[in-house]
A and B are shown apart, each in its own frame.
Chain A
Amino acid sequence: MSDGWVLVIGLEVHCELRTTTKLFCGCPNEFGDEPNTNVCPVCLGLPGSLPVLNQMAVELAMAIGTALNCEIRPSTFHRKNDFYPDQAKDYQITQYDEPINVNGWLELPDGFRVGIERAHMEEDTGKTTHIGATGRIHGADYSLVDYNRSGVPLVEIVSAPDMRTSAQARAYVTELRSILVATGASDGKMEEGSMRVDANVSVRRSEAEPFGTRCEIKNLNSVRSVGRAIDYEAERQIALIEAGEAVVQQTRHWDEDAGKTQALRSKEDAYDYRYFLEPDLVPLVPDAAWTGAVADALGMMPAARRVRLTELLEEAGQLTDSRLEQVTTVVDLGLDDLVVGAIAAGVPAALTLARTANEAAADPEAARSLDPAPYVTLLTMEAAGTLSATQSKVVLSELLANRGGDPAVIARAKGFEAMSDNSLSVTVAEAVEANPDEWARYCAGEEKLAQVFIGQVMKATRGQANGKAVVAELQRLRG
C-alpha cells in the first residue's frame, strides 16, 4: 500500500447452497452433468411455470444468518428485471429490501469484527459458453447456454466496508468459507465456483475523509486472487488520483493470468432493474420455534472450535505462536475433531496437532473421512517411540491414501521396526565421534546442536531412528 493512503474494502460473497434440489423446483442441484438434463419448466422459464420455495434452502440460509450473528427477519422475494440469455425468465428472483438475514458480524481469528449488512437468498443463472477464438465473452462468435445451473440456490453475503487491508479481506474470505462449511450450507470449493467473491474497493487519504469512488471487482476465484486483485486495484486507483485523474465507478474483471483488473463494457441500460415484489411467491415469516430449531441444529463454529483446541494446548502447557497457526489450519480444514479426539485418547496435544496440520492437511478430504481409531493408534506408536517421526509420516500417508487401515500392519509391511536401544547408542556414539567440535559445544550447553546429531543418526538409519530417543542418548553421554 502506498504511503498516505487508506484502503476501504467491502466483499460480496455468493455461496451456492448444498441442497438436493434447486431453489424453486425439484431439479437436482448438481454440476458436471450433461448439459440441459437437470431442467424443468420452472428453471427453463417456460410460459406458465411457477416457483415454489425449497424449505432446505431457507433453513441453510437461516443457518448462515445464525452463524454470522444476524437478525433473522420476515422476508420477501423480488424480481430483478434484466435481459440476459442465461437468465431463463429474463428476471432474477432475489431478496431485495426485505432480506432474511441482516445486521450481523464475523470475527476474524485476530479478533477484528467485520460487519455483515445482509445475507439474502437468490437464484443462480445458467451457464454460458462463449464460442470463438478467444473463448471469452469479448470477441466470441456466438454463445451456448446450459440451464443445469439455472435456479440453483445462492446466499449472497454482503459485508460492511469495514476491511482496510487485503490481508483482512483474505482472512475474511477464509473465515467465511470455514463458517459456510461448518453450517453445512456450502462445500466451500471456490475453485469450482461454489463460492464466488466480488470486492468493492476504494481509497482515501485518511480515515477522516469520506469514502472514495469505488470499483467492484468480479471473478475472484481464490483467496489468493482476492488479495492480489485488491492490491492491484488499490494501486491503480491511487495512481489515477495522484496523476490528477478521477476514479470512475465501474465494474472490473480480475484477469488472474495478467494480474490486472479490466473495466467491463457497461450496459447501455444503466441498471434500471425495475425491482418489484415477486407475485408468484409469498412472504417468508419464520417464527421463533423455526429459527430456534435451526440454531439448535447448528454445530460449533470455527471461532469456538479454535478456542476449544487452544484451551487443550494450554492445559497441556504446549501453547506457542506456531501452534496457534496450526490450530487455525486444522479448524479451517475441518480436521479439529480428529485432533480433539486424539488428545482425548491420550496422544500428546502438540504431536497430534503437528501431524494433523502438516501431514494430514496435505489431503484434507481424505483426512476428514479418516476413521479416528487407527489415527490414534498411529500417533500413540509414534509418541511411544515405536515408530520414528519419519516412519509415522509414511504410515499416515498410506492410511490417507487407503482411507484407513491398521497402522501396525502397514508399518510391518514397510519394514519399519523400532531400533533397539543398543544399536541406537552405537549409531549415536559414531555421530559424536565424527563431529567433535559440535559435541564440545553441545556439552557446553548449546542445546540446539542436538539437531546436528539427530540429522546424522537419521541419515545413518535412513530415518528409522526416533528423534526423542536420540536426544535421550545424547544427554546420557553428556552425563
Chain B
Amino acid sequence: MTPPRSAFGLAASVRSGAESAGDVLDGYLAAIDAGDGEIHAFNLVTREAAGEAAAAVDRKVASGEDPGLLAGVPVALKDNMCTRGVPTTCSSRILDGWCPPYDATVVTRLREAGAVIIGKTNMDEFAMGSSTENSAFGTTRNPHDPSRVPGGSSGGSAAAVAAGFAPVALGSDTGGSIRQPAALCGVVGMKPTYGTVSRYGLVAFASSLDQIGPFATTVTDAALVFEVIGGHDPADSTSLDRPAPRLLSVLEEGIDGMTVGVVTELLDGVDADVAARTRQAAEACAAAGARVEEISVPEVRLGLSAYYLIAPAEASSNLARYDGVRFGLRVDAEDANAMNTATRSAGFGAEVKRRIMLGTYALSAGYKDAYYDQALRVRTRIIEGFERAYRRCDVLLGPTAPSTAFSIGAKFNDPMSMYLSDVCTIPSNLAGHPAISIPFGTGDDGLPVGVQLLAPALAENILLRAAAVIEAAPPEVGSRQ
C-alpha cells in the first residue's frame, strides 16, 4: 500500500503551487486503476468531472484566488449523497442509473472548498448492513485482507481511504456505518453530533439517526473535512443553527486533567484482542495526564434492540418513494399497485426488504406502542444514561466493533449476528452524540483494531483532542501491516 498523504499537507502543497491539483488527481486515479479492480471500493470513478474540478483549482492558484481549504484534495463520496447529473445509486438496483437533478449540501460545500470529487463509493444497499456485502453491484474487499469484509455500510469509502485511492472520503453513519468500517479498515472515521452536518441530499435511511462524517488517515484530516462540510444549512430543518465548527486549532491541546471513562458495557462480549487494545488506549490517555476510570452505562445494552426497531421503522417510510413513478427502476404491471409491488420486489435486495418489513411491522396497528414507541422510550433512557456518565467523565472510551474484519460470507446469511457488529456504535446514534473511531494497532489476526471515543452533544473539540492523543500513541503494530 502507498504510504498515505494527509489531505492537510496536500491542500497546503496545492495552495502554495508546489504541485498541481491535476497531478495530485492523476496520482490517485493511477492508484485506483491499479488497485480497485480487486478492492471494488468505487461504484463510479468520476474521472472527467474530477479532471475539470482539479483544473479549476489550478486556475485559481495561478490567478492568486483562494482555492479553498481542501484545494485539490480528492474526496470519495459514499454513493448515497446526491451529485447533480452523476449517478447516485445507494448500491441498489432500484436507483440504477438515477441522476439526481441537484447536489447534496455537503457536495456543494466540498466543491466550494476546492475539493475534487473523485468518485462514488460502494456501500450496503441504502446503508443497511455492516459488511458492504448487501450491494447490488458486488462486494467491496478489505484492503488489509481481500478475503475479509471492509465493514459497512460505508465500506467503499473506508476501503478507498485505506487503499490510498483517496486521502479522505465521506460516509454516513446511522448505527455505526462510518466508525465500524473505519475500524475494520484501519482508518479514522467520525460521526459528528446529529445536526452539525446537513443531511440535505443524503438519501435517507433513518432520518433521526443518519449523519454524514469523514473518513481520513489522520485525526487532523477528519477535523479539516468536518470543518468544511459542517455548519448550519437552512435546507435541513434538523440542522443546528450554529456556525461551522472550528477544530483544527484545538487538536494539540491534549487531555491533561480530563476524565476518560471506559464503558464496561461496551466491552461486554467483544473479542479479547479488541478489548486488550481498548484498555491499552485507556493507558495512553492516562499517560497523557487524563484520569481514567471504568464506568457503567447499563442503558447502552438496550441500544441494539431499540435501534433495530427505530431505524427500520423510519426506513420503511423513507423507502416508500421508490415506487417506479418518478425516477429509477420500474417493472410494469396491470395496475399502479401491482407496478409498485413488482418494481420494489425486483429493485430491493433481501436486507432492505427485511428492514422495510421489520419497520412496517413495528409501526403497524396494534404493535406500534409495544415496539416503536417503546424503543423511543428506551432512547430517552439511553440519553439519560449518557448524561449521568458525562457528569463524571469528559469523554468515554470503548471498542468500535466487537471483532476485527470478518471473512466475506461469514455473517451474510445470519442477519442477527451481522446486526451485532453495530452493538458498540449504535448508542451514540440514538443519543445524537459525536463519536470517532481511531485505528489502534492490530488484533491477533494482524488486522486493524479501532477504538472508539464518545463525547456529549457538540463536544467535538474534546472528542478530537482525545482522539489526537490516542493517535499519537500507537501500540506496536501487528505483523501484517
Instruction: Point out residues on A near B: beta carbons under 8 Å.
Output: 41, 44-53, 79, 81, 83, 85, 88-91, 143, 145, 272, 274-276, 279-282
Contacts and interface: CB of A to CB of B under 8 A. Distances in A.
Interface stretch (B154-162, B357-365, B391-399): B357-365
The 9 closest A-B pairs by CB, nearest first: A90-B320, A279-B208, A279-B207, A274-B363, A47-B203, A48-B201, A48-B82, A45-B321, A48-B203
Interface of A is mostly: loop
Interface in B73-124: 80-82, 88, 90, 95, 98, 100-102, 104
A45 B363 contact: no
A282 B372 contact: no
Interface of B is mostly: loop
A332 B170 CA distance: 59
B251 to A, nearest CB: 32
A297 to B, nearest CB: 25
Given A46-B101, A48-B202, 11 more contacts: A41-B102, A52-B234, A52-B236, A85-B323, A88-B326, A90-B321, A143-B336, A274-B316, A279-B208, A280-B207, A282-B237
Contact of B325 (A50, A53, A145, A272): A145
Contact of A274 (B95, B100, B364): B364
Contacts of A145: 325
Interface string B397-416: 00000000000000000000
A48 B238 contact: no
12 contacts: A45-B321, A46-B102, A47-B90, A47-B204, A48-B201, A51-B237, A83-B323, A89-B320, A274-B316, A275-B363, A279-B208, A282-B237
B226 interface: no
B433 interface: no
B355 interface: no
A64 B426 CA distance: 43
Contacts of A275: 363
A276 B317 CA distance: 9
B203 to A, nearest CB: 4
Nearest to B359: A274
Interface string B295-327: 000000000000000000110110011110111
B235 interface: yes
A276 B372 contact: yes
Contacts of A272: 364-365
A85 B95 CA distance: 18
Given A272-B365, A274-B368, A47 B100 contact: yes
Which bracket fits the contact residues of B?
35 or more
B479 interface: no
Nearest to B339: A85
Interface string B272-308: 0000000000000000000000000000000000000
B102 A279 contact: no
Contacts of A47: 82, 88, 90, 95, 98, 100, 203-204, 321-322, 327
Output the residue of B200, B325, B363, B364 with the most chain A CB within 10 A: B325
Contact of B368 (A45, A50, A52, A276): A276
A88 B321 CA distance: 7
B199 interface: yes
Nearest to A47: B203
Output the residue of A51, A83, A276 with the most chain B CB within 10 A: A276
A161 to B, nearest CB: 24
B340 interface: yes
Contacts of B364: 272, 274
B63 interface: no
Nearest to A269: B337
B95 to A, nearest CB: 7
B342 to A, nearest CB: 13
Contacts of B316: 81, 274
Interface string B218-238: 000000000000000011111
A48 B237 contact: no
A47 B87 CA distance: 12
Nearest to B366: A272
A113 B335 CA distance: 46
Given A41-B102, A90-B320, A272-B364, A46 B200 contact: no
B236 A50 contact: yes
Interface string B190-220: 0000000001111110111000000000000
A318 to B, nearest CB: 56
Output the residue of B82, B90, B314, B320 with the most chain A CB within 10 A: B320
Nearest to B104: A48
Given A274-B363, A281-B237, A282-B237, A83 B204 contact: no
Interface string B345-362: 000000000000000100
Contact of A50 (B235, B321, B340): B235
Contacts of B236: 50, 52
Nearest to A273: B365
B229 to A, nearest CB: 15
A279 B359 CA distance: 15
Output the residue of B238, B321, B337, B360 with the most chain A CB within 10 A: B321
B363 A276 contact: yes
Given A90-B320, A91-B320, A282-B237, A48 B100 contact: yes
Given A47-B82, A145-B325, A52 B365 contact: no
B184 to A, nearest CB: 27
Contacts of A85: 323, 325, 336
A242 to B, nearest CB: 35
Contacts of B321: 45, 47, 88-90
A92 to B, nearest CB: 11
Contacts of B104: 48
Contacts of A81: 316-317, 320, 363
A275 B320 CA distance: 14
Given A44-B326, A47-B88, A274 B317 contact: yes
